[in-house]
Amino acid sequence: MLLERGVAGLRVLQGLIHLAGRQDSAAIERACRIALTHRAFHLRTLRDLIKRDGREQEAFGFLAEHEIIRDLSSYGHIVRAASGRGPAIVGSLEPACPAGGS
């Protein structure tokens, strides 16, 4: 806190200590973890997170391959064609649905 806010961070820490006497420690810990991930070093943010019973965002894994995700080389062709450094490969880059159709 001191590294981020300097002397003003001391007031936040004092407020946090005061909050610890009135709130559940698990709720304070959860709010502090969430605030830290957002680099939100303000007492108001902590109070709001505790009041809303803020939950940590669930982390999702990303798919490496999927039928609607193009191969990375396709994007290379698009960039080269757009920059004039390579031939345009029109057939494989057309949209699945023609314009105006459904």
Q: Each residue of 54-95: pLDDT tens digit?
A: 666 666 777 777 788 788 778 888 888 888 876 666 555 544
- Say how far apart CA 101 and CA 83 lie, in whole Å: 29
pLDDT of residue 56: 61
The 10 Å Cβ neighbour count of residue 49 is 21
pLDDT of residue 65: 78
Please give the distance of CA 22 from its chain centroid, rounded to a whole number.
31
**pTM of the predicted structure, to 2 decimals:** 0.48
Q: What is the dihedral of CA 76, 81, 84, 85, to 10 degrees?
A: 40
Structure letter (DSSP) for residue 69:
S
H or E element: which one contains 98?
none
The 10 Å Cβ neighbour count of residue 66 is 8
The rounded mean pLDDT for the chain is: 78
pLDDT of residue 44: 92
Q: For the CA atoms of the chain, what is the radius of gyration? A: 25
